[in-house]
Chains A and B, each alone.
Chain A
Amino acid sequence: MNEMRDAATQTSERANAVETTYREAVREAIRDALRRDDRVFLMGEDVGRYGGCYAVSKGLLAEFGPERIRDTPLSESGFTGAGIGAAMAGMRPIVELMTVNFSLLALDQILNSAATIRHMSGNQFGVPLVIRMATGAGRQLAAQHSHSLEGWYAHIPGIKVLAPATVEDARGMLWTALQDPDPVLIFENVMLYNMTGGLAAAAGPVEIDKAAVRRMGDDITLITYGGSLWKTLAAAEALQGDAINAEVIDLRSLRPLDNDTILASVRKTRRALIVDEGWRSGSLAAEVCARIVEGAFFELDAPIGRVCSEEVPIPYARHLEEAAIPQTSKIVAAVKAIFGKAR
């Protein structure tokens, strides 16, 4: 795919980049897809007249009309299933679910239909569908709007699970996902929508099957994704003061996981810490940890660490919400503990 730009070109282009928000980058990706391919349409609750619950699709209705920017009733299962059917019949729908919590009402369709149909039908039918949804805590939306369940979805064979953490990925992952013959779920962390970053004027599709090393280092590998990437990078900077040079890996794709990038880094640094906004028990962090143990056990100098969400429904009060999810200070402390340094 020569259309796609690798990390190196992206970095060199950053110089003449324009400042844009993550939200605008997602919108531009949707707009671009709608322009490129008339099989593409966006469907979901309040994506049209309201402009999207996180204002992602604002303005698209006026540009593309109600056929392609399709407001749906509050029928998550119904319209997600409709997206599956439309994809099977040759369209390229983008289904937007307001948040991962509401996606549970469509879980039947995602797991029992979208993820199974290719295999169950002996490869006769595929479901080239993209489902986007917001995930994560930080806006004091309490216990029914703040969870990070992308790790659950990463459990399911037959779908791909993406977590764009940068403006480039927000802009670039959608089109590649739409080219995929199978269902792709894209998780947009709510705390990233207002984040700004430089985006090259020529920004376009990016690879979706590789993790990215966002910071080079030799002493420990910090593995994370989505909204936690920026906290982890901040922690890595802070650790520099303690003479700990951390490498930071952004998983980008939660299913499939890029084992090679993870293991190559851990073999170099000999230490690893995973930062995951999901709950610790049965988490994606646990899966990454297991893979490191399976693939690099004898190269480890220390037990693997994890910083995950506390095992509570995400609380409303700000201090509790902050305490419940990974924070830079917790990451710093966990890394120091691995190095046997007290706070």
Chain B
Amino acid sequence: MTATTDKPHLTREHSLDLLARMIRIRRFEDKSAELYTQEKIRGFLHLYDGEEAVAVGVIPVLGESDRIVATYREHGHALARGVPMGEVLAEMYGKQEGCCLGRGGSMHLFDSARNFYGGNAIVGGGLPLAVGLGLADRMRRENHVTACFFGEGAVAEGEFHESLNLAALWSLPVLFVCENNLYAMGTALALTESETDIQRKAACYRIAAEAVDGMDVVAVEAAARRAVRAVRETGKPYFLECRTYRLRAHSMFDAQLYRDNAEVESWRRREPILRFSEWLKANHMVHAEEIARIENAVADEIEQAVAFAEAGTWEPVETMTRYVCAEKQHE
């Protein structure tokens, strides 16, 4: 799918595709939570429930040679980008069949073949990398776009400001996508920022910006098309704030003392999959059987991914120190 126009062409087929992509991520995250309680997945696990419209609205708009930088909450981004589900899950199991040999885990999914530059678990740490990827493209006159995803918590970091300034100053083709889910772990945005209208911060750096309802996949896709086209045409950065909400805990170690159930429930009524499928049904664009078919296909894929991860093997301890540095090429 290439972005020739800004308006998503909401054919039935495209709508079903968007819906299927979001359901796929949601069910994968459900399964991950289950596998976590079974201790198949360990460490930190950050789930994306409620925010699917962002990855699904933005990532398919990018071309194959465009680049993506993500955070530790990146299963959805990796899946949307086409990293095979089995490899993602095997990575979360810590198996060597995982996309990073099991060395990165949930927070560090990388895929060089898909220009997926990771899973960064340092809040704000991915932004300078995205600036550098954009710089390389600018210097080689290559027309790629680097999409950089980060939470609103990153906005408080110095690296956010350094990166926006550099991207604007050097006119770099970077699309900054802020996933504003209102909380950084347990700290509400209003408790950490003097200016809570995040997209306004881009204005100080003279970066074109807009905010979009991040619970509306069609709106996100439309904004992403505008944004990607702007970056490609001008070669300059663009800032897209997607206003969304995290339905689950920050990670699996979060008692959620900082928000009450009523708030979460009110967002649940606005969550992107429910909202889009209801809208499609109301407009007779989708039948219940089609949704059932999507659910079945996703369930099959997840079952296969689990089987793949289960069948995976552990990297022998003897090779653990491989790839700390590049291996010498033997002639």
Contact surface of A with B, Cβ cutoff 8 Å: 41, 67, 72-73, 75, 77-91, 93, 108-109, 112-113, 117-126, 157-158, 160, 180-182
Contact surface of B with A, Cβ cutoff 8 Å: 67, 98-104, 108, 110-112, 117-118, 120, 122, 125, 127-137, 139-140, 158-159, 162-163, 165-166, 169, 322-326
Q: 17 A-B pairs, CB-CB below 8 angstroms?
A: A75-B162, A77-B128, A77-B159, A78-B131, A79-B166, A81-B131, A85-B128, A85-B132, A89-B132, A113-B129, A117-B110, A120-B103, A120-B118, A121-B103, A121-B118, A124-B100, A124-B111
Could you tell me if B165 and A181 are in contact, using CB atoms closer than 8 angstroms?
no
Other-chain contact of B325, A86, A118, A124 (Cβ < 8 Å): A118
- Please name the residue on chain B nearest to A77 by beta carbon: B159
A119 and B105 alpha carbons, distance in the complex (Å): 12
Could you tell me if A77 and B132 are in contact, using CB atoms closer than 8 angstroms?
no
Chain A residues closer than 8 Å to B122, beta-carbon distance = 108, 112-113
Could you tell me if B165 and A78 are in contact, using CB atoms closer than 8 angstroms?
yes
Could you tell me if A122 and B133 are in contact, using CB atoms closer than 8 angstroms?
no
Could you tell me if B110 and A89 are in contact, using CB atoms closer than 8 angstroms?
no
The 8 A-B pairs of least Cβ separation, nearest first, read: A85-B132, A81-B128, A78-B162, A122-B101, A89-B136, A181-B326, A75-B162, A121-B110
Contact of A85 with B125 at beta-carbon distance under 8 Å, contacts A77-B159, A122-B100, A181-B326 already known: no
Minimum CB–CB distance from A154 to chain B (whole Å) comes to 14
Minimum CB–CB distance from B106 to chain A (whole Å) comes to 12
Other-chain contact of A73, B135, B169, B322, B323 (Cβ < 8 Å): B169
Could you tell me if B166 and A72 are in contact, using CB atoms closer than 8 angstroms?
yes
Chain B residues closer than 8 Å to A181, beta-carbon distance = 325-326
Could you tell me if A67 and B139 are in contact, using CB atoms closer than 8 angstroms?
yes
19 A-B pairs besides A88-B129, A158-B324 with CB distance below 8 A are: A75-B166, A77-B128, A77-B162, A81-B125, A82-B131, A82-B132, A82-B135, A84-B132, A85-B117, A85-B130, A85-B133, A86-B136, A90-B140, A91-B135, A113-B120, A118-B323, A119-B324, A124-B111, A125-B112
A121 and B69 alpha carbons, distance in the complex (Å): 13
- Please name the residue on chain B nearest to A82 by beta carbon: B132
Could you tell me if B100 and A121 are in contact, using CB atoms closer than 8 angstroms?
yes
Minimum CB–CB distance from A181 to chain B (whole Å) comes to 4
Chain A residues closer than 8 Å to B131, beta-carbon distance = 78, 81-82, 85
Minimum CB–CB distance from A47 to chain B (whole Å) comes to 15
- Please name the residue on chain B nearest to A124 by beta carbon: B112
Chain A residues closer than 8 Å to B128, beta-carbon distance = 77-82, 84-85, 109
Could you tell me if A123 and B323 are in contact, using CB atoms closer than 8 angstroms?
yes
